[in-house]
Amino acid sequence: MGPVLFTFYINDLPKIVQYNTKPSLFADDTSLIFSNPNYLDFKTTINNVFSQLNKWFGDNLLLLNYEKTQYVHFTLKGTVLHDAPAGYNNNFFSNSTSTKFFGMIIENTLSWKAHINHLLPMVCMACYSVRTIKPFMFQENLKSKYSCFHSLMTYGIIFWGTSTHSIHVF
């Protein structure tokens, strides 16, 4: 019942966000996507939205955790980044070069190198464990073991699977 009540509690959050901002809610995770080619307008938009968010949080007896809040400024490779500190009432959150979004690590240049590097050790351990137990198990049991890590490899592959940083493990 907890997740349902939480959803009812925050269902009006996307309505208060304006200024061409797209909210994304999933369970207890909220992301906001800002888009503006003009740096000054972009900075103003961020500050206005977080002013509205903090008012909403206060009205609903909640607090925004600035230590867990981060923002990623997506750019093209080689583009000079402007530091746009974001926050409210001298509480600022960190600018990050990557973030975990729906289980995938997304870098500010939309490269998948960090995500692939995150998956590689897990896939290598799984391959090693299957090779190690193969002589001692029936094929049906090996398929069961394989299914445990198959989801790791295939989750989000439509996005990162064609990356130039792909590493083939055989």
Q: What integer best gives the mean pLDDT of the chain?
A: 78
Residue 55, classed as helix, strand or coil, is helix
Residue 168: is its pLDDT beyond 60?
Answer: no
Q: How many CB atoms lie within 10 A of CB 16?
A: 13
Output the pLDDT for position 73. Answer: 80
Question: What pLDDT score was predicted for residue 162?
Answer: 67
Give me the helix-helix angle, 113-133 and 139-154, nearest 10°. 180
Token pair of 22, please?
């797209």
Give the length of the chain.
170
What is the per-residue pLDDT for 170?
42
Residue range 8-27: mean pLDDT, rounded? 76
Would you state the pLDDT for residue 85? 66
pTM for the whole structure: 0.68
For residue 31, the one-letter residue type is S
Instruction: Count Cα atoms within 13 angstroms, Cβ side, for 102.
Output: 8
CB 71 within 8 A of CB 95: yes
Predicted local distance difference test score (pLDDT) of residue 134: 85
| Domain residue ranges in the chain | 2-96, 113-160
Q: Residue 167 pLDDT > 60, yes or no? A: no
94 has a pLDDT exceeding 50: yes
